[in-house]
Structure 1
Amino acid sequence: MMGHGPVGVEALPRRVSVPAAPGSCADSLLERDRFEWRLGDPGDPATLIEQFLSTHDLPVTDLARPGDPRRHGDGPCGAALFVSAAAGAVLVDAPPGAPSPAAGVPDVAVIVYGHGPRHHPSAPPGPDGWWRGPWQPSWTAQQHAAAVDAARTAIARGDIYQVNVVGHAAAPYRGDPLPVLARLGGLPGARYGGTLAGAGWAIGCASPETLVELVDGRLVTRPIKGTRPATPAGRAELLASTKERAEHIMIVDLERNDLARVARTGSVRVDDLYAVRRWCDLWQAESTVSASPADGLGLADLLRAVCPGGSVTGAPKLSALRHIAALEPVGRGAAMGALGWVGPGRLDLGLTIRTAAADGDRLHVWAGGGITWGSDPAAEVAEARAKAAPLRTLLR
């Protein structure tokens, strides 16, 4: 990575801004250890994640008993966790898709943090020497539209009910990408705003979507599906759209089924259905589904149940993943995976939509949308551009 060395114990001082990390600890987190895994490495990634965190005395083998969040002492505060969409596909024995265009970004990253002396918050450094070239998409608008048509054909055959189709673009850069990627966390609605980095790679996230959270003894997921411009007319259109509501409810049902695999019998419920939230200049429909974790549920089994996220795959999930692998010309890299925090009494993973990455000398962005039989190819291409536009603007 040009002008940027490894971020770790020796690379001081760099402010930690891990999505979903405890805000009270943000000024004192110091990296203690890390684990990275890539496609082709040996072992099951979910099992390796759980084992690595367990060696650091983090309570991940029984999430129904998540530990005391007040416990600090000499123990770790917690860990940042990233799982790529490709690694998620591996967890459910689905094809991982085309190779990632961001080859330097690992498919799993786990970074354990402890506490050090507090440092005073300061403005992030400016992007001195920063230069970014033009964006080059991995497919044309016509090819994207053709993939939407192919998805509609698969739906007409009965192979799938819906599928998420994602595009990618890359741009050359010079300089340190971390201060620029950190800007994404300030976007309106970025519930999982923050960064994660390693030797030769960095991720910036502005995601509004909860993949899975453990709060007050309940597993919670908040799928987002349905998008319109953030205008009064756009909000009314989203609320009135039969197509968007039907697509959304299919994903809610999928998420209910995913949680039911790891929940106490009869504990799954829909707490909020089709609520309209704002992210930047877009309205999006969000629901809340929750469940009580089964006794003895470990993090590995939870990851196998929820990864990759239903809102960025489709229904049925396994069939959708097979079509995604056939339709998309490049892999999803840092996007459409999981990123967040695991610690005593705290588990909060966001879905890495609205996410960018840097590796080598290129920046990467991904965006897409859910396809149903009623999808219009030109509208789907326009929606993906609208989702990527705020990220591209901040990465100038």
Structure 2
Amino acid sequence: MMGHGPVGVEALPYLMRVPAAPGSCAGSLVERDRFEWRLGEPGDPAALIEQFLAAHGLPVGDLARPGGAGHHDDGPCGAALFVSAAAGAVLVAAPPGAPNPAVAVPDVAVIVYGHGRPPAPAPSGPVDWWRGPWQPSWTAQQHAAAVDAARAAIARGDIYQVNVVGHAAAPYRGDPLPVLARLGGLPGARYGGTIAGAGWAIGCASPETLIELVDGRLVTRPIKGTRPATPAGRTELLASTKERAEHIMIVDLERNDLARVARTGSVRVDDLYAVRRWCDLWQAESTVSASPADGLGLADLLRALCPGGSVTGAPKLSALRHIAALEPVGRGAAMGALGWVGPGRLDLGLTIRTAAADGDRLHVWAGGGITWGSDPAAEVAEARAKAAPLRTLLT
């Protein structure tokens, strides 16, 4: 994968779709500046993100004040923002976990876009692309053993729930960006799109909202609970006591996270345990919202919400410590935040159903929430089902 200088729409032979970017600007986005940060580098990543965006004139210092309904052609349109799960753990003083297997992917990427001439259409011709076999970072037996270890921690009272995530990588040759871009076309990919840098790229098909600011309300939509997208699967998901209890536990966690940055008494559950479809799966989703506290800046919002509760567990800090001990490789591009920050617009998705490319390998991650009632074999099968649509498209 080649990378020389800023990688933006201008540098690509096709139109890059940035997750959650304004659709009306999709044909004219041009990279103006970027900031990247990796574990071990100095500084507080949340503060650095806010400072960088503010320096480009984006209103992120007080999210309770309207930032304007739009933008001017000669100013910034907005910025793509990626925060890894490891960076999120750092923000709450938790262990960041095992090393990132996609070594070139940063832990923070902020790409500021302005408006310019759309890129030239890609020339037609044969596609030089090859992908080798997937190699998991652990076996099904090791994954199941991690589920058993998580259940033992729950039995001891260390945690109530924890998310356990697996990883697989495959070698490739060719340009990974057009392949990663296919993920954005998956049904239910609310945060479908790609971002890229020197030697790395991320493709997202996430259906889950980590945090959105709309009409003066902060909104999060945690997803927890999965079944095959069949009539029987939907009925089973709606009737499952285990899935509903796990889901409500995460809704309560998200309510508490939002309450830390919300006006007193403004947090509410707008929709509880609604069943939505993503590809060949039913998933349970709730909507929790709140009014931002006066003076709430983006940095404090990221510290409160990252990493997302539906991919960590409860209590969050204890769950993160167990995740660091249980997972053999880092979460890389997955289980973090990716989306758009602009005038009057904040919309970040949780990077589930997400893949990444570094210099010579593609990477995918998938997992699920573990409770005392979890069956290890079923959890392994669920993670495989979540990863299957991504693996199929990355061919």
Same fold (TM over 0.5): yes
With 57-66 and 287-296 compared, the bigger mean Cα shift is at: 57-66
1:197-216 per-position Cα deviation (integer Å, ceiling 9, x unaligned): 00000000000000000000
CA contact (8 A) 1:2 1:361 kept: no
- Normalising by structure 1, report the TM-score: 0.97
CA contact (8 A) 2:3 2:198 kept: no
d(CA) in 2 for partners of 1:252, 1:179: 36
Q: Residue 358 and residue 227 in structure 1: after superposition, are their counterparts in 2 closer, same or farther (change >3 A)?
A: same
Q: What secondary structure, in the 3-state scheme, does the structure 1 residue paired with 2:183 have?
A: helix
Counterpart residue number, 2:273: 274
Shift of 1:70: 2.2
d(CA) in 2 for partners of 1:35, 1:72: 22
- Normalising by structure 2, report the TM-score: 0.97
Q: What secondary structure, in the 3-state scheme, does the structure 2 residue paired with 1:340 have?
A: strand
d(CA) in 2 for partners of 1:4, 1:383: 39
d(CA) in 1 for partners of 2:232, 2:78: 44
Q: Residue 73 and residue 11 in structure 1: after superposition, are their counterparts in 2 closer, same or farther (change >3 A)?
A: closer
Q: What secondary structure, in the 3-state scheme, does the structure 1 residue paired with 2:362 have?
A: strand
d(CA) in 1 for partners of 2:95, 2:214: 32
CA contact (8 A) 2:9 2:15 kept: no
Shift of 1:143: 0.1
CA contact (8 A) 1:127 1:180 kept: no
Shift of 1:72: 1.0
Q: What secondary structure, in the 3-state scheme, does the structure 1 residue paired with 2:149 have?
A: helix
4+ aligned runs moved over 4 Å, structure 1: 2-6, 120-127
d(CA) in 2 for partners of 1:72, 1:47: 26
1:15-47 per-position Cα deviation (integer Å, ceiling 9, x unaligned): 231100000000001000000000000000000
Q: Residue 171 and residue 27 in structure 1: after superposition, are their counterparts in 2 closer, same or farther (change >3 A)?
A: same
CA contact (8 A) 1:273 1:287 kept: yes
Matches within 5 A, 1:20-169: 20-116=20-116, 118-119=117-118, 128-169=127-168
CA RMSD of aligned residues (A): 1.6
CA contact (8 A) 1:3 1:175 kept: no
d(CA) in 2 for partners of 1:141, 1:56: 47
CA contact (8 A) 1:124 1:179 kept: no
Shift of 1:66: 3.6
Name stretches of at least 5 consecutive residues in structure 2 with no aligned partner: none
d(CA) in 2 for partners of 1:19, 1:127: 27
Shift of 1:7: 1.6
Name stretches of at least 5 consecutive residues in structure 1 with no aligned partner: none
d(CA) in 1 for partners of 2:82, 2:300: 16
Q: Residue 357 and residue 12 in structure 1: after superposition, are their counterparts in 2 closer, same or farther (change >3 A)?
A: closer
d(CA) in 2 for partners of 1:87, 1:15: 29
d(CA) in 2 for partners of 1:242, 1:230: 19
CA contact (8 A) 1:127 1:176 kept: no
CA contact (8 A) 1:9 1:32 kept: no
Q: Residue 375 and residue 4 in structure 1: after superposition, are their counterparts in 2 closer, same or farther (change >3 A)?
A: farther
CA contact (8 A) 2:47 2:299 kept: yes
d(CA) in 1 for partners of 2:123, 2:170: 23
CA contact (8 A) 1:127 1:175 kept: no
Task: State the identity %.
Answer: 91
d(CA) in 2 for partners of 1:120, 1:95: 42
Shift of 1:11: 2.1
